[in-house]
Structure 1
């Protein structure tokens, strides 16, 4: 459960310790002394989405690198709360603090200079500093392909998009999706909303129905725990969904026609590898896109026609070759919550 109350205790890098925190929860795990990594996860680690992917990345760091790890989750995306959580983690002196999500940009820029001996990384961030870098999985590239696929497959020529909070990666993903849609179907109508919450299933159910009532037969959702409400609405109305972050076509292929994979677990893992191997650089933004299919790709459901698959493959190759520029601009209308 999330709370607005401040953190009152610090996590420590101790085996099998788990401290109940006033803000969300914290947990730690024991590795060797080679590397210590802490992560701030401003959401639920079991949200079946972006936050869970961050936690999975932390566990991969523990397994692959033998690192000692710690995390704080359940923090609301408010700058003062994020700053306090980062200070709590950094005060323990880890080698690396990972702030998972672009909503941590401001907090990381403020806190990193206070702990010059600690390396800081923002996943999906766009901030840098003397001991701060960002690792950006280019969700917009797989979202662009998803939009292109939606433009090829829509039968109503109305395509939707639903997200929660207006953070930079979400805006880029929406823009990428829109521009991919316009590339293959410039006459399509685009319905888009930032509903204000990534985890509210009643809200996502309602706004999904609004877009369905507006004619959308394919809707791209960039949600976390609130995705279930959208799934339920689309299943009831026979509308197809395009997921993000993970491969939702493997979970519910009857609902998901595609999934714009952006495996953000890879970002934290890559950063930790760089620290462990001595290759980490401050004042840098590391961008990972379709040229790294382990991190970024578009998955299509089994019932997607072969001609659509072939065109998506061709467009992907054009992006990787630099022949198509993935624009993230969008200046059109938005629905209101």
Structure 2
């Protein structure tokens, strides 16, 4: 949840390369320019854009967002465009390009897009900028959070019950607040069912290096971890490789990854990004969207723990019953995965 790649405290210089950005949009095959027939008829198209920090082939965070964009295109008859961005300077550059071209809605897919959105948005007041995993708002800037920690707690319960070594692991791409919160919830869930469990936590330093993901997983397995929870996007594929080689369990994240490594993945903490994106896009198209933090969790059906049907029978019935009871309690608000901490944004808040 990605969710995601660069610290928002970085001082970012503005780089405006209009020609390069326009070519990038065209190369991605998106609708970077208005269609002539729509302009001629006076019927302005509903145009939606997406910036992802990683490849949409990751079968995780970025793929889910791209599926959300496709759902908007299909369900709302929208013109859509997607660009993969690498650096904070590119976030701002492409936000400006889409605003200048009159896009109604632009998603920056990750916590790290917030600063760029807040800088660019005042110049394009008719464009709504939404940052996923973001908690910043302005006149035309909104955030969308996913309460990923809720289902992460449930995954922790499963890991805590299934471990034979009393050691489980959690591996992330980079140390961003939403990722840290999900790992804290995973650890809390594991310890709720197994007070003896020890949770190893490490970060790869990026979201794309499959080999580095595998190395991190092998290191944790070497320390006794026999179940590994990951939130690492494309790098997570390397974690699955290590789990298969060493015969330990793993968990999918962001998308339903159960089919990626069905022999080792016990379940996936899934964000239904198409459903979340459509929720916002419908409001924007109808003209009734009010910038805010849109909070979507298990109660909304957007976030869930989805068992792998091939391995579900290995999870003891008593554990599955306990997980179901915890899910009901979380949705009712009587169980807080992060204790008295109300949300992930406060998990890493500095002490006064």
Give the TM-score taking structure 1 as reference length. 0.87
CA distance in 2, matches of 1:325, 1:88: 41
2:166 equivalent to 1:157: yes
Report how far residue 81 of structure 1 moved.
Answer: 2.1
Q: Which of 239, 260, 264 does residue 230 from structure 1 map onto?
A: 239
SS for the counterpart of 2:30 is strand
2:307 equivalent to 1:296: no
Deviations 1:39-76 (A, max 9, x none): 11121111111011111100000000001111211x11
**Where does the alignment leave 5 or more consecutive residues of structure 1 unmatched?**
332-337
CA distance in 2, matches of 1:138, 1:179: 15
SS for the counterpart of 1:248 is coil
1 or 2, which has the higher helix percentage? 2
CA distance in 2, matches of 1:5, 1:305: 56
2:73 equivalent to 1:62: yes
User: What is the match of residue 133 of structure 1?
Assistant: 142
CA distance in 2, matches of 1:268, 1:174: 25
User: What is the match of residue 41 of structure 1?
Assistant: 52
Map 1:82-161; keep pairs closer than 5 Å. 82-161=91-170
SS for the counterpart of 1:27 is coil
Report how far residue 88 of structure 1 moved.
Answer: 1.7
CA distance in 2, matches of 1:225, 1:130: 34
Report how far residue 263 of structure 1 moved.
Answer: 2.2
CA distance in 2, matches of 1:192, 1:178: 9
CA distance in 2, matches of 1:313, 1:33: 47
User: What is the match of residue 27 of structure 1?
Assistant: 30
Quick check: 1:209–1:233 contact (8 Å CA) kept in 2?
yes
Deviations 1:207-239 (A, max 9, x none): 100000010000001121112211111101001
User: What is the match of residue 52 of structure 1?
Assistant: 63
Deviations 1:255-312 (A, max 9, x none): 1012111223333222101112333112x1010111122x111112323222221111
Map 1:210-221; keep pairs closer than 5 Å. 210-221=219-230
Quick check: 1:151–1:188 contact (8 Å CA) kept in 2?
yes
Quick check: 2:59–2:257 contact (8 Å CA) kept in 1?
no
CA distance in 2, matches of 1:183, 1:251: 29
2:313 equivalent to 1:306: no
Q: How many residues align?
A: 316
RMSD: 2.3
Quick check: 1:136–1:267 contact (8 Å CA) kept in 2?
no
Quick check: 1:137–1:263 contact (8 Å CA) kept in 2?
no
Quick check: 2:54–2:207 contact (8 Å CA) kept in 1?
no
Report how far residue 115 of structure 1 moved.
Answer: 1.2
User: What is the match of residue 88 of structure 2?
Assistant: 79
CA distance in 2, matches of 1:164, 1:18: 27
SS for the counterpart of 1:8 is helix
**Where does the alignment leave 5 or more consecutive residues of structure 2 unmatched?**
1-14, 339-343
Deviations 1:77-124 (A, max 9, x none): x32221112112221111111111111111111111121121111111
Q: After the TM superposition, which of the residue ranges 174-183 and 35-44 deviates more from structure 2? A: 174-183
